Amino acid sequence: MGKKIVILNGSPRANGNTKGLIDAFMQGAQEKGHEVVCFDLGRLNIHGCLGCFGGGKDRLSPCVQKDDMLKIYPEYMAADVVVLASPMYYWGISGQLKCAFDRLFAVAECDENYENPKKDCILLMASEGDGIDNSKPVLDYYQALLAHLNWKNLGYIIAGGVLKIGDIKGHKALKDAFNLGKNL
Ligand SMILES: Cc1cc2nc3c(=O)[nH]c(=O)nc-3n(C[C@H](O)[C@H](O)[C@H](O)COP(=O)(O)O)c2cc1C
């Protein structure tokens, strides 16, 4: 049966390198019959978490802040797979993605033990630097995040050596992203 996949795209560049990875991944996943929805977070109105612990009272609108996260919550709740897609910014995910991800805590607040809904997860990332030393901080973060959420990692792709828009063209990671989607 086809899976429901939600991509949170934290790149503000509409045709950037992260988007290249997303397009390749989506093509593979859609060829396999999976349903994919992608949110371009940089074009949405999403505020940072207030840390108020006042959410979780309404499953359809779990956060006290009423912004474009309301579009994401229902898709997130229904998703089998969440894809975190982002440029590497200072050895982490972009602020756009961090903001949106923090706000998913409101969904965990719907559970009396703050349990997060169970998801599978994928990381797609573009970065200027290349190699394991450059990737390590973000991979450590990704693994710690998933361990905390009790989510399963289905794969991660970090396309190194890409800086300007268009640099991703012909990159080996595009094939990897396509195959990751196709083999889900
Ligand atoms: C604010 C900022 C911080 C960045 N920090 C890093 C970094 O820590 N490591 C790295 O390898 N590249 C870094 N980069 C480069 C981007 O990851 C790279 O340009 C990437 O291809 C951008 O993806 P995009 O085209 O999807 O926006 C940074 C770029 C910006 C604008």
Q: What is the pLDDT of residues 66-94, one digit of tens each?
A: 999 999 999 999 999 999 999 999 999 99
Residue 50 and residue 5: Cα distance in Å, rounded? Answer: 27
pLDDT band of residue 1 (cuts 50, 70, 90) is confident
Q: What is the pLDDT of residues 22-43, one digit of tens each?
A: 999 999 999 999 999 999 999 9
- Please tell me if the CB atom of residue 18 comes closer than 6 angstroms to any atom of ligand 1: yes
Q: Ligand 1 centroid to 157 CA: how many Å?
A: 15
Residue 132's SS3 state is: helix
Q: Which atom of ligand 1 is nearest to the CA of 134?
A: 11
Q: Ligand 1 centroid to 109 CA: how many Å?
A: 33
Q: Ligand 1 centroid to 19 CA: how many Å?
A: 13
pLDDT band of residue 156 (cuts 50, 70, 90) is very high
pLDDT band of residue 18 (cuts 50, 70, 90) is very high
pLDDT of residue 29: 98
- Please tell me if the CB atom of residue 92 comes closer than 6 angstroms to any atom of ligand 1: no
Q: Ligand 1 centroid to 9 CA: how many Å?
A: 14
What the chain holds in terms of domains, given with CATH numbers, is 4-182 (3.40.50.360)
- Please tell me if the CB atom of residue 93 comes closer than 6 angstroms to any atom of ligand 1: no
* Alpha-carbon 110 to chain mean position: 21
pLDDT of residue 114: 95
- Please tell me if the CB atom of residue 11 comes closer than 6 angstroms to any atom of ligand 1: yes
Model pTM score: 0.98
- Please tell me if the CB atom of residue 23 comes closer than 6 angstroms to any atom of ligand 1: no
Report the pLDDT averaged over residues 2-29. 98
Beta strands per DSSP E along the chain: 4-9, 35-40, 81-87, 120-126, 152-159
Burial class (CB in 10 A: 0-12, 13-18, 19+), 80: middle
- The single-letter DSSP state of residue 166 is T
Q: What is the pLDDT of residues 118-155, one digit of tens each?
A: 999 999 999 999 999 999 999 999 999 999 999 999 99
Q: Ligand 1 centroid to 128 CA: how many Å?
A: 6
pLDDT band of residue 52 (cuts 50, 70, 90) is very high
